[in-house]
A and B are shown apart, each in its own frame.
Chain A
Amino acid sequence: MKILKEYAGALTNFEVLDFLRSRGAGKDPTRLIAAIAPSEYKVYDYLEQTAASRQTRDTVNEFMEKCKIYDLAKAEILNIINIRPSSAAEIDPIIEECDARYGEKIELLVETVSDLLPPPPTQLESEEGIGVDKEQTSDEHQMEVTQ
């Protein structure tokens, strides 16, 4: 084995989930037909619980576009997309020297995050109940369109 490139690009959680879904994970309830190893299903199960499960290519791209004005490092944007912080306290450990660099402006960034990136499924269930879940997401889509 020869390592040609140790680092050939980073992937967000969403991209890994998208890759596993494109190979048929999630469509196969028996987990035997699709050519996916048990270890890959463990990764899939983990990612389904995170914020990545509701993201789409468009929302992630739009968020990256909006992030440009904040002058964030690439790793910070990646981490924000993966974690989807919903308050200033949650975003603080992700961004280096958050107070000195942003101060009060951090609230605007948190607002951008909660506007563009959908919340993780566990949060929705605890706040809204599973039944209201679907209506909530469709409302969010409409809001995005009007914005």
Chain B
Amino acid sequence: MFCLSEIEHTLRLPPHLLNLPLPEAIKGELEGLFLDKVIAKLGLCVSVYDIRSIDGGFIFPGDGASTYTVKFRLIMFRPFVGEVISARLKESSSTGLRLSLGFFDDIYVSVALLPNPSHHEPDPENQNQVRWIWEFNEENYPLDGMDEIRFRVHSIQYPSIPLEQEKDSKPFAPMVVTGSLDADGLGPVSWWV
């Protein structure tokens, strides 16, 4: 689920940070740049793990700040295909489910990847949503938001930033995880206990 990535970056250190020790000031700048951001192909940045080296400190002519080249490692959230992760239900519609980890919400389970056979019926508590129900041995197992839902990572996409966005489209997500529930042991934890 989490892994490290090593990155080199050249950054300008604003002079108002000169009162701090250098590594601390650079770490703060890096956190501002990378934390909670998605880097394409690398995943979502969770934390700055450590700083490997700080080089430079060159002041360009006409610039009132020093520029450093820093090598550092980031903790990235990048699930691998086939990994099993527990999440919570965020939305449930006729096109599938949307799951959330709390810090990452763009996990979708399409209808084709739901347990087979399953059907949906209107949710009595929320008119905009539906409730998916898995039929197994003539018994109904509802997919509700009561407990944790385990899903298997089916694929991860990093869509490129759209040039134009339609007015009523949903907000752009730079990283989308597609999950699958169609296997034994997946779905709400209570199904298997």
**A interface residues with partner B (beta carbon < 8 Å):** 1-13, 15-16, 19-20, 37, 39-40, 42-43, 45-46, 50, 75, 79, 82-83, 85-87, 89-94, 96, 122
B residues 3-20 near A (Cβ < 8 Å) are 3-9
Query: In the complex, are the beta carbons of A83 and B186 less than 8 A apart?
Result: no
Query: In the complex, are the beta carbons of A79 and B83 less than 8 A apart?
Result: yes
Query: In the complex, are the beta carbons of A87 and B71 less than 8 A apart?
Result: no
CB-contact partner of A93 in B5, B80, B102, B184, under 8 A: B184
- A19 CA to B76 CA, complexed, in Å: 13
Tell me the nearest residue of chain A to B101, going by C-beta: A46
CB-contact partner of B185 in A9, A12, A82, A93, under 8 A: A93
Additional A-B contacts beyond A10-B3, A93-B152 (4; CB < 8 A): A6-B5, A8-B3, A90-B189, A93-B150
Residues of A within 8 A of B85 (CB): 82-83
Residues of A within 8 A of B152 (CB): 93
Tell me how far the C-beta of A87 lies from the nearest C-beta in chain B, rounded to whole angstroms.
Answer: 6
**Interface size of B as a range:** 35 or more
Residues of B within 8 A of A11 (CB): 2-4, 75
Residues of B within 8 A of A8 (CB): 3-6, 73
Query: In the complex, are the beta carbons of A79 and B9 less than 8 A apart?
Result: no
- A79 CA to B36 CA, complexed, in Å: 23
Closest 6 CB pairs of A and B: A39-B36, A42-B103, A5-B6, A46-B102, A8-B4, A11-B2
Given contacts A11-B3, A20-B47, contact A75 B101 (CB under 8 A): no
**B interface residues with partner A (beta carbon < 8 Å):** 1-9, 31, 35-36, 39, 41-42, 46-47, 49, 71, 73, 75, 77, 80, 82-86, 101-103, 147-148, 150, 152, 183-186, 189, 192-193
Residues of B within 8 A of A2 (CB): 7-9
Residues of B within 8 A of A94 (CB): 84, 185
Query: Count the A-B residue pairs with Cβ separation under 8 angstroms: how many?
Result: 112
- A90 CA to B83 CA, complexed, in Å: 13
Query: In the complex, are the beta carbons of A9 and B3 less than 8 A apart?
Result: yes
Tell me how far the C-beta of A92 lies from the nearest C-beta in chain B, rounded to whole angstroms.
Answer: 5
Residues of A within 8 A of B36 (CB): 37, 39
Residues of A within 8 A of B84 (CB): 79, 83, 93-94
Query: In the complex, are the beta carbons of A90 and B185 less than 8 A apart?
Result: yes
Query: In the complex, are the beta carbons of B8 and A16 less than 8 A apart?
Result: no
- A7 CA to B192 CA, complexed, in Å: 34
Query: In the complex, are the beta carbons of B47 and A3 less than 8 A apart?
Result: no
Tell me how far the C-beta of B96 lies from the nearest C-beta in chain A, rounded to whole angstroms.
Answer: 19
Query: In the complex, are the beta carbons of B5 and A16 less than 8 A apart?
Result: no
Tell me the nearest residue of chain B to A83, going by C-beta: B84
- A43 CA to B35 CA, complexed, in Å: 12
